[in-house]
């Protein structure tokens, strides 16, 4: 089950992101910023 709590690491993107891009482009965006999309962090766009 997916749960958000204070033990999660949150990474917030402060630049506008086109949410119509889909999950693959969002993962590519995360990787482009030297992060791993499957590292367990919560990415907020």
The residue extents of the domains of the chain are 10-44
**pLDDT value of residue 3:** 85
Q: ∠32-35-37 over CA atoms, to 5°?
A: 100
Yes or no: say if 9 and 41 are a contact pair by the CB < 8 Å rule: yes
* Token couple for 2: 């997916």
**pLDDT value of residue 26:** 93
**pLDDT value of residue 41:** 93
The tens digit of pLDDT for each residue in 1-45 reads: 678 889 999 999 999 999 998 999 999 999 999 999 999 899 999
């Amino acid at each position: 089950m997916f749960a958000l709590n204070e033990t999660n690491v949150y990474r917030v993107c402060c630049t506008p992101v086109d949410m119509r891009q889909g999950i693959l482009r969002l993962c590519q965006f995360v990787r482009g910023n030297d992060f791993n999309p499957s590292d367990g962090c919560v990415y907020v766009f």
